């Protein structure tokens, strides 16, 4: 028993930072729009949770953003700043830096709309918080930004991965897993599209709280002996909670918005990215499970994952409920 407790404490030491920042993986958005020659509008939107706002500051080498923003306001879930820039200095060749990004786990989607109709998109990451604009140079074909964001969102979303892991442990690596994952995919694709297109509106803080509660439910099912609805029809439970998780995915997508001229394509790419990231995680998790089966671990060791998942999910639930009431 002491060994199991030690393993739990060790897991907590590694996962606590991710748990505390599970809601901070939502991307920020920087939009730079050329209104006319020498006239630019800069829009900055970064995630926030309650009164907690990441210390992020966009900076351009020309000093465009050194002045006070023309507009600044905070709303539930985000902080917005805008600048109205009139300068003869070209954007081409300038270096963008997101100060403070290196101390976070948040990506920044950068969109530049030029007066000639061109759009340049890129993603600035904490590992490299700078980007040099090269607007005149023809960009090489690259994976669209929304596809990357979808993959990174699911792989960095500790809470969503915890649910998928719990579902995998509950079902096991067999045919039922394929049914459960498929049901989860179909469900969250439906609500992701519905919410992203504005057909469904649910407060993000409430959705995040219910997502945490869904993980607690799965962890409790893992600890229950004997048959249950979840074990008999795991695809049904995966579908029901998948609808909920899709709303959470849509909340992250809403933080950056969808380009008006490419809503369907961007939404599809983001969803495909989520699915690719999910399949990557499931493949690795199944491989680890099959490897652990050969080690013949004691029965008590199987309780480590359910207790760890349930404990962190309970922490997320309490933390997010506090935000709801704020």
- Write the pLDDT tens digit of every residue in 239-280: 999 898 888 877 766 666 666 666 777 788 888 888 898 899
Q: Are 208 and 158 in contact (CB under 8 A)?
A: no
What pLDDT is attached to residue 174? Answer: 80
Name the DSSP letter for residue 34. Answer: E
Question: Judging by DSSP bridges, how do beta strands 119-124 and 108-113 pair with one another?
Answer: antiparallel
Q: What residue ranges do the domains of the chain occupy?
A: 27-142, 149-325
Name the DSSP letter for residue 138. Answer: P
CB atoms within 10 A of CB 131: 18
> Max Cα separation, the chain?
72
Closest C-alpha to 178, from 268, 283, 277, 269: 283
What pTM, to 2 d.p., does this model score? 0.63
Between 49-53, 186-190, 224-228, 284-288, the lowest mean confidence (pLDDT) is in: 49-53
Q: Say if residue 137's pLDDT is above 80.
A: no
What pLDDT is attached to residue 55? Answer: 80
- Band of pLDDT at residue 140, cut at 50, 70 and 90: very low
CB atoms within 10 A of CB 173: 16
Residue 59 Cα distances to 98, 101, 132, 267, angstroms: 6, 12, 12, 29
**Whole-number percent of the chain with pLDDT over 90:** 10
Tokens linked to 43: 């829009």
Q: Are 167 and 235 in contact (CB under 8 A)?
A: no
What pLDDT is attached to residue 1? Answer: 41
Average pLDDT, the chain: 79
Q: Say if residue 142's pLDDT is above 90.
A: no
Compute the distance between CA of residue 295 and CA of residue 305 in angstroms, rounded to an integer.
Answer: 16
Q: Are 274 and 153 in contact (CB under 8 A)?
A: yes
Instruction: Give the contacts of 69 (CB within 8 A, at least 6 positions apart).
Output: 44, 81, 82, 83
3-state secondary structure of 78: strand
CA-CA-CA-CA torsion sign (211, 213, 219, 221): negative
Q: Are 43 and 29 in contact (CB under 8 A)?
A: yes
Query: pLDDT by residue (tens digit) across 1-19?
Result: 444 433 343 344 444 444 4
Rg of the chain in Å (alpha carbons): 22
Distance of CA 162 to the CA centre of its chain: 13
- Band of pLDDT at residue 121, cut at 50, 70 and 90: confident
Q: Are 149 and 268 in contact (CB under 8 A)?
A: no
């Amino acid at each position: 028993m002491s060994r199991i407790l030690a393993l739990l404490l060790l897991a907590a030491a590694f996962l606590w930072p991710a748990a505390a920042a599970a809601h901070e993986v939502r991307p920020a958005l920087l939009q730079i729009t050329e209104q006319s020659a020498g006239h630019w509008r800069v829009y900055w939107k970064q995630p926030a949770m309650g009164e907690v706002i990441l210390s992020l500051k966009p900076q351009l080498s020309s000093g465009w953003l050194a002045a006070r923003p023309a507009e600044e306001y905070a709303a539930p879930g985000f902080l917005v700043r805008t600048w109205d820039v009139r300068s003869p200095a070209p954007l081409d060749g300038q270096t963008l830096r997101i100060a403070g990004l290196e101390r976070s786990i948040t990506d920044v989607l950068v969109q530049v709309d030029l007066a000639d109709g061109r759009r340049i998109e890129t993603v600035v990451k904490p590992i490299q918080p700078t980007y040099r604009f090269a607007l005149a140079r023809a960009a090489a074909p690259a994976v669209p930004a929304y596809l990357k964001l979808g993959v990174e969102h699911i792989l960095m979303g500790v809470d969503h991965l915890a649910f998928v892991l719990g579902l995998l442990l509950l079902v096991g690596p067999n045919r039922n897993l394929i049914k459960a994952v498929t049901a989860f995919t179909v469900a969250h694709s439906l609500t992701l599209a519905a919410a992203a297109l504005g057909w469904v509106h649910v407060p993000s803080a409430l959705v995040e709280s219910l997502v945490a509660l869904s993980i607690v439910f799965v962890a409790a099912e893992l600890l229950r002996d004997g048959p249950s609805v979840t074990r008999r029809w795991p695809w049904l439970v995966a579908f029901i909670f998948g609808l909920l998780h899709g709303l959470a995915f849509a909340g992250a997508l809403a933080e950056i918005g969808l380009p008006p001229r490419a809503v369907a394509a961007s939404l599809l790419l983001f969803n495909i990215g989520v699915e690719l990231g999910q399949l990557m995680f499931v493949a690795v998790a199944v491989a680890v499970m099959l490897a652990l089966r050969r080690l013949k671990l004691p029965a008590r060791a199987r309780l480590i994952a359910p207790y760890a998942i349930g404990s962190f999910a309970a922490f997320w639930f309490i933390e997010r409920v506090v935000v709801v009431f704020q």
